[in-house]
Structure 1
Amino acid sequence: MAQNPNMTHLKISELIVLPPLWIRCDGSDPEHTYWLGAEPLKAGSKITGISFHMVKCDGPTADKTCFVNLEELKTAHKVKHHSSIVTTKGFAQYELISAAAMDDTILGCESNISIDITWHTVDKILQAPPLCSAATLNIMLESGDPRSPVYPLYRELQFLLALAEGLKTGVTEWPEPLEAQPAFELVQEFLLDLKKKLDGCCVSGNKNETESIKSDTAAVDSSIKSIFSERGDLDFAEQLWCKMRSVCSYQELVECLTLVIKFLEHGEIQPWIHQGSSSLLSKLIQQSYHGKVEAVSLSGITPIQMLLEIGLDKMKKDYVSFFIGQELTTLIYLDYFVSTSVDLQEQVHRLQKLHHMLEIMVSCTVLLQFKHENLFPLTQTCLKYYKENPLNEKQVFQLPIRPALVKKFYQNDHPEMWKVDITSGHGQKEVKTTWQVSANPPVEHMISSNIGLFCDSTVNGSSEERMYFVAKAECSQVHFT
Structure 2
Amino acid sequence: MGSKVISNAKEFYNILRSLQDEGRNDPCTFEEDIQMLKTNGDRIPVLNMYCGNQSVFICEKAESNVPKMNEPEDQLMTETSNCTDGDEADDDGDYVAADCDASALQTELVPEPLTIMKARQLLSWYTLSQNVNVSAVENNPALHPLWVRCDMSDPAGTAWFGAETVCMGNKVSGVKLHSVTCKGSTVDKKSLITLDELKQEHKRRCHPSSCFQMAIKGSARFLLLGSTVVENTLIKSQSSVTVDFKWSHVESILETPPLSSTATLNIKVACGEMRSPMFEMYRELEFLQTLADGLRTGETEWMEPLESASAVNLTKAFLEELQNTAKTPQDQTAKPAETTKLKSEKDDPIFNSLLERGDLDFVEQLWVRMRKSVISYQDIGDCLKLVTEALRYGDIKPWIHRDSSSSLSKLILQSYHKQIDHVSLTGLTPVHMLLEMGLDKMRKDYINYLIGEELTTLNHLCYYLSTDVDLQEQVIRLRKLHHLLEIILTCSTFLGLPYDRLFLLTQSCLQHYKTYPYDENHEFKLQIKPALISHFYQKEHPVVWGVEVSSGNGAREVRTSLQLSDRPLVDHIIFDTDYTNETVNGGSEDPAFFSTMVCCGLANFA
Structure 2 residue aligned with 1:192: 320
Among residues 251, 255, 263, which one is paired with 1:135 in the alignment?
Answer: 263
Q: What whole-Å deviation, never above 9, does each CA across 1:292-313 have from its counterpart, x for those lacking one?
A: 3333222110111111111110
Q: CA deviation at 1:98?
A: 0.7
CA distance in 2, matches of 1:13, 1:218: 72
- Alignment pair present for 1:238 and 2:364: yes
Unmatched tracts of structure 1, length 5 or more? 222-227
Contact 1:453 1:467 in 2 (8 A): no
Unmatched tracts of structure 2, length 5 or more? 1-127
1:385-464 superposed matches below 5 A: 385-450=512-577, 453-456=580-583, 458=585, 463-464=588-589
Among residues 355, 358, 366, which one is paired with 2:485 in the alignment?
Answer: 358
- Alignment pair present for 1:153 and 2:278: no
SS in 2 for 1:262: helix
1:15/1:354 Cα in 2 relative to 1: closer, same or farther (>3 Å)?
closer
Q: What whole-Å deviation, never above 9, does each CA across 1:220-261 have from its counterpart, x for those lacking one?
A: 36xxxxxx3421221110111111112122222222112111
**Most deviating of 419-428 and 327-336:** 419-428
CA distance in 2, matches of 1:427, 1:292: 76
TM-score (norm 2): 0.74
Structure 2 residue aligned with 1:254: 381
Structure 2 residue aligned with 1:126: 254
RMSD (Å) for aligned C-alpha atoms: 2.1
Q: CA deviation at 1:451?
A: 8.6
CA distance in 1, matches of 2:357, 2:594: 51
Contact 2:132 2:138 in 1 (8 A): no
- Alignment pair present for 1:324 and 2:451: yes
CA distance in 1, matches of 2:582, 2:603: 41
Contact 1:213 1:230 in 2 (8 A): no
**Most deviating of 346-355 and 165-174:** 165-174
Structure 1 residue aligned with 2:48: none
Among residues 188, 194, 198, which one is paired with 1:73 in the alignment?
Answer: 198
**Most deviating of 249-258 and 144-153:** 249-258
CA distance in 2, matches of 1:480, 1:455: 48
Given residue 176 of structure 2, which amino acid in structure 1 is its aligned partner?
A: S
Q: CA deviation at 1:172?
A: 1.6
1:20/1:310 Cα in 2 relative to 1: closer, same or farther (>3 Å)?
same
- Alignment pair present for 1:214 and 2:346: yes
Among residues 176, 195, 202, which one is paired with 2:304 in the alignment?
Answer: 176
CA distance in 2, matches of 1:2, 1:259: 81
Among residues 473, 477, 480, which one is paired with 2:602 in the alignment?
Answer: 477
SS in 1 for 2:580: helix
Q: CA deviation at 1:102?
A: 7.2
Q: CA deviation at 1:454?
A: 2.4
Given residue 274 of structure 1, which amino acid in structure 2 is its aligned partner?
A: H
SS in 2 for 1:89: strand
1:245/1:232 Cα in 2 relative to 1: closer, same or farther (>3 Å)?
same
CA distance in 2, matches of 1:324, 1:87: 47
Given residue 243 of structure 1, which amino acid in structure 2 is its aligned partner?
A: R
Contact 1:454 1:466 in 2 (8 A): no
- Alignment pair present for 1:54 and 2:214: no
CA distance in 1, matches of 2:424, 2:234: 47
Contact 1:93 1:416 in 2 (8 A): yes
1:3/1:181 Cα in 2 relative to 1: closer, same or farther (>3 Å)?
same
Among residues 395, 406, 426, which one is paired with 1:299 in the alignment?
Answer: 426
Given residue 386 of structure 1, which amino acid in structure 2 is its aligned partner?
A: Y
Contact 1:217 1:230 in 2 (8 A): no
Q: CA deviation at 1:5?
A: 3.3
Q: What whole-Å deviation, never above 9, does each CA across 1:407-430 have from its counterpart, x for those lacking one?
A: 111111110100100112233332
1:430/1:321 Cα in 2 relative to 1: closer, same or farther (>3 Å)?
same
CA distance in 2, matches of 1:19, 1:229: 51
Contact 1:456 1:466 in 2 (8 A): no
Contact 1:167 1:301 in 2 (8 A): yes
Contact 2:345 2:351 in 1 (8 A): no
CA distance in 2, matches of 1:434, 1:189: 70
**Most deviating of 92-101 and 265-274:** 92-101
Given residue 439 of structure 2, which amino acid in structure 1 is its aligned partner?
A: L
Q: CA deviation at 1:22?
A: 1.7
Contact 1:149 1:220 in 2 (8 A): no
Contact 1:456 1:467 in 2 (8 A): no
Contact 2:130 2:139 in 1 (8 A): no
Structure 2 residue aligned with 1:20: 145
Given residue 124 of structure 1, which amino acid in structure 2 is its aligned partner?
A: S
Q: What whole-Å deviation, never above 9, does each CA across 1:348-387 have from its counterpart, x for those lacking one?
A: 0000000000011111111001121110010011001100
Structure 2 residue aligned with 1:6: 133
Given residue 211 of structure 1, which amino acid in structure 2 is its aligned partner?
A: K
Structure 1 residue aligned with 2:461: 334
**Number of residue equivalences:** 470
